[in-house]
Amino acid sequence: MSDGTGTDLRDLGVSVAGQSLLHHVGFRVQPGQRVALLGASGSGKSLTVLALLGLLGPQFRVQGTLRVDGCELPWRQAPGRRPGMAAVFQDSQAALNPVVRLDRQLLPAVARRRRTGAAEAGQVMAELLREVGFEDPERILRAHPSQLSGGQRQRVCLALAMAASPDLLVADEPTTALDMISQRQVVEALRRCTGPGRSALLFITHDLAVAADLCDDVVVLDRGRVVEAGPMQQVLRSPRAAFTVALVAAARAGLRPAATPVGPDARTGLESVAAPLDAAS
């Protein structure tokens, strides 16, 4: 599809103090598409995300263009002001005030985003919390963030991000700090909140197995450059760049032994995470 809709990043170059960190990075996220941005530590994932969200500091020199639905956006914008974009980050602890009840910190934000009164904001948030997998949203809303697990906090952050009804959800390593079961729940929540007819997803990770489980397309970064991009199954089946070849081999090697049953929950998670890699064999 080339109708100009969605998020279109072209030729992104980022440098600081004369040192080039990103080189001609470009990709497109269509409405409702789930795209993984994959790369090792230091490959440039965070800089790319900050540029997309308009949050790079003034010390960075930025080149290239970013268009959303055909409209060019500036490289810097106040936090949370990117039209049509919302984000969740790895550190859900930092995103929430640990000592303030969730209803007291979330509902005013939801009321602002949805331009509604308090009662309606409560209903909207309860519905969103159900969508990200909480069966008892009222109890969650009465809790303090410090009473929740990291995975639960991450799903609360996701529900809050979805309150903005974003066209594009940017999820920056949201599962990295989580155990396997919590990771699985966050991935399922992301799957429910995004996809055709819903928000598009840019899922940033260094974990190919998780990316393969969730995303239809992948963009691989290595040392500040896009080294591979395309449909996930095609890239898994026949990776071209040396870096991607190594990544696919490592993911397969890492997952097969771990898929040995060690308990009902762990087995379920591992099998389904391994499945997209196996399917592409």
Ligand X SMILES: Nc1ncnc2c1ncn2[C@@H]1O[C@H](COP(=O)(O)OP(=O)(O)OP(=O)(O)O)[C@@H](O)[C@H]1O
Q: Which residues bind ligand X (CB under 6 A)?
A: 16, 21, 39, 41-47, 206
Closer of 35 and 128 to ligand X (Cβ): 35
Q: How far is the CB of 13 from ligand X (least distance, A)?
A: 12
Closer of 52 and 164 to ligand X (Cβ): 52
Q: How far is the CB of 93 from ligand X (least distance, A)?
A: 17
Give 96's DSSP letter.
S
Q: How far is the CB of 96 from ligand X (least distance, A)?
A: 21
Alpha-carbon gap, residue 47 to 39, rounded angstroms: 12
Closer of 134 and 203 to ligand X (Cβ): 203
Alpha-carbon gap, residue 261 to 61, rounded angstroms: 50
* Token pair in block for residue 96: 């929430």
SS3 27: strand
Q: How far is the CB of 203 from ligand X (least distance, A)?
A: 13
Q: How far is the CB of 78 from ligand X (least distance, A)?
A: 20
Closer of 45 and 198 to ligand X (Cβ): 45
Q: Which residues contact 279 (CB under 8 A, 6 or more apart)?
A: 233
Closer of 134 and 243 to ligand X (Cβ): 243
Amino acid at 262: V
Closer of 91 and 120 to ligand X (Cβ): 91
Closer of 41 and 260 to ligand X (Cβ): 41
Residue with tokens 């390593």: 173
Query: Angle of helix 180-193 relative to helix 264-279, nearest 10 degrees?
Result: 60
**Cα angle vertex 229, ends 226, 234, to 5°?**
150
* Token pair in block for residue 242: 């040396």
Give 1's DSSP letter.
-
Task: Give the closest residue to 51 by CA, choosing from 33, 72, 74.
Answer: 74
Alpha-carbon gap, residue 142 to 188, rounded angstroms: 24
Q: How far is the CB of 27 from ligand X (least distance, A)?
A: 15
Alpha-carbon gap, residue 165 to 113, rounded angstroms: 9
Q: How far is the CB of 143 from ligand X (least distance, A)?
A: 30
The three state secondary structure string of 127-185 is HHHHHCCCCCHHHHHHCCHHHCCHHHHHHHHHHHHHCCCCCEEEEECCCCCCCHHHHHH
Closer of 27 and 134 to ligand X (Cβ): 27
Q: How far is the CB of 222 from ligand X (least distance, A)?
A: 10
